[in-house]
A and B are shown apart, each in its own frame.
Chain A
Amino acid sequence: MSTHEAPTREHVVAMVAKILKVEAAKINGTDRLREDLGMDSLASLELLSCISDELDVDIELDEAMELVTVDDACAFVNRVYREQRQGASGSSS
């Protein structure tokens, strides 16, 4: 996706599906990354690292460890993206 578009839920779910090698349709927003999707701490960080690269946003490690569900990850990524884009446009204006 373009780095100028805000990440949609579908984008994040697609990245989760790619990392886990499962169909995106089988992933629900309420799925817990650990219990339902079998991701351990390294896999969760790998996911967020991919998202960080894909969307060109900075994600701090300790924030990343707080995420529980797919919906949490979507909301978190969206918030970080908007904050960092707003910060960037604010500083350039």
Chain B
Amino acid sequence: MPRVAPPEPAVTGLARSRELGRGLAAAHATAAEAEALPLVLGESNRLVREHADAAEIDREGRLPEALRTRVAEAGLFGLTVPEAHGGAGFSLKSACAVVAEIARVERSTAIMIGLHSGLGTRPLVELGDEALKARLLPEIASGACIAAFAATEAQAGSDLTGIRTTGSVEGDELRIDGEKVYVTNGGFAGCYSVLARTPGLGGARAHSLLLVPRDTPGVSVGPEEDKLGIRGSSTVTVYFDGARVPRQNVLGEAGRGIDQAHAALAWGRTLMAAGCVGTARAALDLTLAHVTTRQQFGKPIGDFSASRAHVARMASRHYAAETLVRWVGHALAEGEPIDELSLLAKVLASEASFEICDRAIQLHGALGFIEPTGVARLLRDCRITRIFEGANDVLLVRGGTAVLSRRPSLSRASLATEVDPDLEREAKAWDALHARLTDARLSVAKEHGVGVVRHQLVLQAVARANLCLVTALATLLRASSAAGASERELGRHASEDLLLEAERHLDDLARAVRDEARVHAVSEHLYAPLRRPAAAEPESPK
């Protein structure tokens, strides 16, 4: 997986814009998938509705083994495994559509399949030794061996460079020692892609990805974590105590583990974002059914403007998240980089899904707050997505750094000439804000230089303004290619919201350094008593 440069959210010509707009309007990536995908979506939906009781899974805190068997029989564990190795060979884009469809019904099942199809499997598919792939991928595709990814440690979450698990070279083998926490799928996985420090393979702090089968002596698994949401998904600590694997199990070039993990995370984040799109859709569907039937003051509550504002916001945010997730899949299918796009999609979709579920509860009133209605579970299920596979706070810092680390194109893009005339007003607003962001980037780079890395609020404001503009570009191009007036109106509303937010984040950027000083002062007052040495504490009253 080569490291690739992040994309610029620029307009690159009418033909490409129209092609991208059509790409964003479709859930599939290829002509073959266009035929197969609707069948797979229908079958996946039916299977999960029949065999996954969301309330029971939430209550019991585990996915029934019978459900895993059904998922395996339906071939869903082979979704992204190449056809040559027994899988369906679906693109990331189509796999996202399937994961979203499953998440509409039951999120823990979607997490299991999404994690397996992305983070769990991609390192082996992309980097693995041919003999290793030939041996393991058919088992992974059949579901006989469910895949997991083990990177996070108790002391190293968002900062993977701080991991302590080691893979020491001993003859033709690597001896693995350490422990990995919060390993999704870990309880029933058959193999783990493990990020470890491998000082014998590269420099003093070289890292590598190692494929470790579950049945390797020295591998053991802790109890399941008791979680707020996605309670059916498996989350465990995995222990490695002198576990030995052949050197053939080093995935790809030794020493490139951090980059390889980030490349796998690009897939993982996108599939996770797709799950958020599915959960958001479920919350929207429940809300539409509720507000059109629940009567107050003599008419359905959905008829009131205050309710319509919630519903319009929910639908437009879902549209924005779905569009951005599709853009990641479209970009990958076109051979374009997805590092930064996947990061943006993860942040947007995780925040959008939580907001949509929160509004769903609001419109359900007290019914939304009690568990049997199912809306509360949706909110709990999507809370973790703002944290795992990169906490959004850290991803925004990284995203801002990425934006500022490349010189912006000074040729002014003009989206107004690229969209349907009906959307020209929004496109002109996009042009103006894009120019404002470009100026802000140049100004920040000049003022702070490399020292901007210490100004997290500056980086986050840049990242958020960029996120809104990238997404607004996508929604405007998708809406431009839409045949129906209703989708165009939805796209317009989604774009307007995003443009307003971009403007707000650019305002935030202008005062970010001052804000940093203020929050530093406030928090220091709160931290100070906790930092006092024990000797300075007041004596107990006599």
Interface positions of B from 392 to 416, Cβ below 8 Å from A: 397-398, 401-402, 404-407
Q: Mark B402-438, 1 if CB is under 8 A from A, else 0.
A: 1011110000000000000000000000000000000
Q: Establish whether residues A36 and B255, one from each chain, have CB atoms under 8 Å apart when the complex forms.
A: yes
Question: CA A52 – CA B449 in complex, angstroms?
Answer: 9
Once A32-B203, A35-B255, A62-B406 are accepted as A-B contacts, the answer to whether A40 and B449 lie under 8 Å apart by CB is no
Q: Mark B195-226, 1 if CB is under 8 A from A, else 0.
A: 00100001111110000000000000000000
**Residue B62 interfacial (CB < 8 Å):** no
Shortest C-beta distance, A46 to chain B (Å), equals 6
Q: Establish whether residues A60 and B401, one from each chain, have CB atoms under 8 Å apart when the complex forms.
A: no
Contacts of B160 in A (CB 8 A): 40
Q: Establish whether residues B203 and A40, one from each chain, have CB atoms under 8 Å apart when the complex forms.
A: no
Contacts of A53 in B (CB 8 A): 451
Once A38-B258, A40-B258, A43-B161 are accepted as A-B contacts, the answer to whether A61 and B404 lie under 8 Å apart by CB is yes
Pick from B258, B404, B450, B452: contact of A34, CB under 8 Å: B258
Q: Mark A62-76, 1 if CB is under 8 A from B, else 0.
A: 101100000000000
Pick from A22, A39, A40, A64: contact of B450, CB under 8 Å: A64
Once A40-B160, A41-B402, A42-B401 are accepted as A-B contacts, the answer to whether A49 and B451 lie under 8 Å apart by CB is yes
Shortest C-beta distance, A67 to chain B (Å), equals 11
Number of A-B residue pairs with CB-CB distance less than 8 Å in the complex they form:
89
Once A60-B450, A61-B404, A64-B450 are accepted as A-B contacts, the answer to whether A39 and B202 lie under 8 Å apart by CB is no
Contacts of B450 in A (CB 8 A): 45, 48-49, 52, 59-61, 64
Shortest C-beta distance, B349 to chain A (Å), equals 23
Question: CA A45 – CA B454 in complex, angstroms?
Answer: 9
Total chain B interface residues with beta-carbon distance under 8 A:
31
Q: Establish whether residues B449 and A45, one from each chain, have CB atoms under 8 Å apart when the complex forms.
A: no
**Residue A4 interfacial (CB < 8 Å):** no
Question: CA A20 – CA B217 in complex, angstroms?
Answer: 32
**Residue A58 interfacial (CB < 8 Å):** yes
Question: CA A84 – CA B202 in complex, angstroms?
Answer: 35
Shortest C-beta distance, B443 to chain A (Å), equals 13
Q: Mark A7-32, 1 if CB is under 8 A from B, else 0.
A: 00000000000001010001110011
Residue on B nearest A64 in the bound complex, by CB: B450
Q: Establish whether residues A42 and B453, one from each chain, have CB atoms under 8 Å apart when the complex forms.
A: yes
Q: Establish whether residues B451 and A41, one from each chain, have CB atoms under 8 Å apart when the complex forms.
A: no
**Residue B387 interfacial (CB < 8 Å):** no
Contacts of A20 in B (CB 8 A): 204-205
Residue on A nearest B407 in the bound complex, by CB: A62
**Residue A6 interfacial (CB < 8 Å):** no
**Residue B445 interfacial (CB < 8 Å):** yes
Q: Establish whether residues B454 and A49, one from each chain, have CB atoms under 8 Å apart when the complex forms.
A: yes
Which of A37, A39, A52 has the most chain B CB atoms closer than 10 A to its own CB?
Answer: A37
Complex A-B: 24 CB contacts under 8 Å: A20-B204, A32-B255, A38-B161, A38-B197, A38-B205, A38-B258, A39-B205, A40-B160, A42-B398, A42-B401, A43-B161, A45-B450, A46-B453, A49-B454, A58-B449, A59-B449, A59-B450, A60-B449, A61-B401, A61-B449, A62-B407, A62-B445, A64-B450, A65-B406
Among all A-B residue pairs, the 5 with the closest Cβ atoms: A36-B203, A38-B205, A45-B453, A59-B450, A31-B203
Known A22-B204, A38-B205; 18 more pairs at CB < 8 Å: A27-B203, A31-B204, A35-B259, A36-B205, A37-B206, A38-B197, A39-B258, A40-B160, A45-B401, A46-B453, A48-B450, A60-B445, A60-B449, A60-B450, A61-B404, A61-B450, A62-B405, A65-B405
- List the interface of chain B (C-beta within 8 A of A): 160-161, 197, 202-207, 253, 255-259, 262, 397-398, 401-402, 404-407, 445, 449-454
